[in-house]
């Protein structure tokens, strides 16, 4: 026998038992997005490699070691998207959506990064991203955070996530901070690990989010980014904090919060949880006013974030088991006897015509009533519809409540209405 071909490591199948909870979570997220007037944008999964190099920055983990890059048959270098912002900005410029316009957009879909797979970290994972263009903030920055806070309430996880906030200022402010930080790090090279030494010149701000506890201790004495902010960024940040205070959204200012990707400025934020082990960042984003111009468009302010759906699903399952997937089947239609299968299939269609929200599964493959009822239980149905030769002859059907065991014979023409009342 041939050897089984297996899925690629870190690229998961999502089986029916899981997709049901994913669907319910996604529909909750989309409903909230709709309530703020945001629109979906759908983008390709593959883009030209230089797009990501230019947008994300050459000296980032993503570009240095995580991208799935390949040559297509024409010899072009293409990359499976590691994130959604670059493609969204590319599309916005290409279709003239950004210049002098407001856009409030969201997208959902798979992203690809070659990382070491572990709980909450995969090679194909899914993000829901939101990007807003044409608004300077900080009011809109605050709205994005309010929107995410509404998500947490809707999913019942609000007590298990907390907001970390920072401003990384303008490009210039960051440049002068960078010099001060590098000068400090140079004095303490002996206390840095290899990763930090490498980043120290290529991308020194990334040293701030080193996970090494010794480095974190050392950083207590390092210059603070907050002391280097330009006046406008300082005001912007104060404005954002005031909006959040007014909205009653708690946050911690974390001066070491920077972002892995180069394109951010001013506002950066993360929603983190302690309920998922070390993969604790559920949602991360910030302002990126320079990116549109950097990718060849006319300058446009922008702010956005991306949420990791695998981590979100894990978190909902861990802390709010009440949030269950909707049932797959409510009604199971069993039939036995001559001519009953045709009658069953037609009755099922008629019920769906009048009661489209009902989830009705028809028994196929025959079997005696006992077998068929066992299948109804297996699918978790609450009600069984039963058709025998008598019922077919009389244009009736037996409606059996599978929880109470009560049953009743009703006219087929009435059954949909009957089910609607029974199932609410």
Question: What minimum distance in Å lies between the beta carbon of 68 and ligand ATP?
Answer: 12
Distances (CA, A) of 226 to 174, 237, 254, 261: 10, 10, 10, 19
Q: Residue 127 or 363: which CB sits closer to ligand ATP?
A: 127
Strands 103-112 and 396-401: unpaired
Give the helix ranges, DSSP H, for 156-191: 171-187
CA distance 370 to 307: 47
CB-closest chain residue to ligand ATP: 308
Strands 281-287 and 265-272: antiparallel
Question: What minimum distance in Å lies between the beta carbon of 225 and ligand ATP?
Answer: 17
Strands 162-167 and 265-272: antiparallel
CA distance 276 to 343: 51
DSSP letter at 65 equals I
Q: Residue 131 or 391: which CB sits closer to ligand ATP?
A: 131
Question: What minimum distance in Å lies between the beta carbon of 40 and ligand ATP?
Answer: 18
Q: Residue 10 or 223: which CB sits closer to ligand ATP?
A: 10
* 55 touches 263 (CB < 8 A): yes
Name the percent of the chain in helix, strand, coil, to the closest 5: 45, 20, 35
Q: Residue 66 or 230: which CB sits closer to ligand ATP?
A: 66
Chain-centre distance for alpha carbon 402: 37
Question: What minimum distance in Å lies between the beta carbon of 18 and ligand ATP?
Answer: 15
Q: Residue 257 or 397: which CB sits closer to ligand ATP?
A: 257
Question: What minimum distance in Å lies between the beta carbon of 3 and ligand ATP?
Answer: 28
Measure CA of the first residue to CA of the last residue in the chain; give whole Å: 52
Strands 68-71 and 46-48: unpaired
Q: Which residues bind ligand ATP (CB under 6 A)?
A: 83, 113, 115, 120-122, 125, 127, 260, 279, 281-284, 306, 308, 310-311
Question: What minimum distance in Å lies between the beta carbon of 266 and ligand ATP?
Answer: 16
Task: Return all residues near 152 (Cβ < 8 A) that are at least 6 apart.
Answer: 158, 161, 271
Residue bearing tokens 């980043």: 199
Q: Residue 219 or 306: which CB sits closer to ligand ATP?
A: 306
* 172 touches 266 (CB < 8 A): no
Question: What minimum distance in Å lies between the beta carbon of 350 and ligand ATP?
Answer: 45
Q: Token pair of 209, please?
A: 């989010």
Q: Residue 83 or 391: which CB sits closer to ligand ATP?
A: 83
Question: What minimum distance in Å lies between the beta carbon of 342 and ligand ATP?
Answer: 49
Q: Residue 306 or 392: which CB sits closer to ligand ATP?
A: 306
């Amino acid at each position: 026998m041939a050897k089984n071909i297996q899925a690629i490591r870190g690229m998961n199948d999502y089986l029916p038992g899981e997709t049901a909870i994913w669907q319910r979570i996604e529909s909750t997220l989309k409903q909230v997005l709709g309530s703020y007037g945001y629109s979906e944008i759908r983008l390709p999964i593959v883009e030209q490699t230089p797009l990501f190099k230019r947008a994300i920055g050459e000296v980032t983990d993503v570009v240095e070691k995580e991208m799935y890059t390949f040559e297509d048959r024409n010899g072009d270098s293409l990359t499976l998207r590691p994130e959604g912002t670059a493609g969204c900005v590319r599309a916005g410029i290409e279709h003239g959506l950004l210049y002098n316009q407001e856009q409030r957009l969201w997208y959902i879909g798979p992203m690809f990064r070659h990382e070491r797979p572990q709980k909450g970290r995969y090679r194909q994972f899914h993000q829901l991203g939101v990007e807003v263009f044409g608004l300077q903030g900080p009011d809109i920055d605050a709205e994005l955070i309010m929107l995410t806070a509404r998500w947490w309430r809707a999913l019942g996880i609000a007590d298990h996530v907390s907001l970390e906030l920072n401003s990384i200022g303008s490009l210039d402010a960051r440049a002068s901070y960078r010099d001060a930080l590098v000068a400090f790090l140079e004095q303490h090279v002996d206390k840095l690990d290899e990763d930090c030494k490498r980043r120290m010149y290529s991308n020194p701000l990334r040293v701030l989010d080193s996970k090494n506890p010794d480095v974190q201790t050392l950083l207590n004495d390092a210059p603070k980014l907050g002391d280097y902010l330009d006046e406008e960024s300082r005001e912007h940040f104060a404005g954002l904090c005031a909006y959040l205070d007014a909205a009653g959204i708690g946050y911690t200012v974390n001066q070491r919060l920077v972002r892995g990707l180069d394109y951010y400025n001013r506002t950066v934020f993360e929603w983190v949880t302690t309920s998922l082990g070390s993969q604790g960042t559920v949602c991360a984003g910030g302002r990126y006013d320079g990116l549109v111009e950097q990718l060849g468009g006319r300058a446009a302010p922008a702010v956005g974030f991306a949420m990791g759906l695998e981590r979100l699903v894990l978190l909902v399952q861990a802390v709010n088991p009440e949030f269950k997937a909707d049932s797959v089947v409510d009604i199971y239609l069993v039939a036995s006897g001559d001519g009953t299968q045709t009658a069953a299939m037609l009755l099922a269609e008629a019920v769906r015509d009048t009661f489209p929200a009902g989830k009705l599964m028809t028994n196929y493959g025959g079997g005696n009533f006992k077998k068929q009822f066992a299948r109804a239980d297996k699918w978790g149905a609450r009600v069984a519809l039963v058709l025998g030769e008598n019922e077919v002859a009389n244009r009736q059907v037996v409606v059996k409540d599978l929880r109470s065991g009560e049953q009743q014979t009703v006219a087929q023409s009435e059954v949909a209405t009957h089910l609607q009342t029974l199932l609410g």
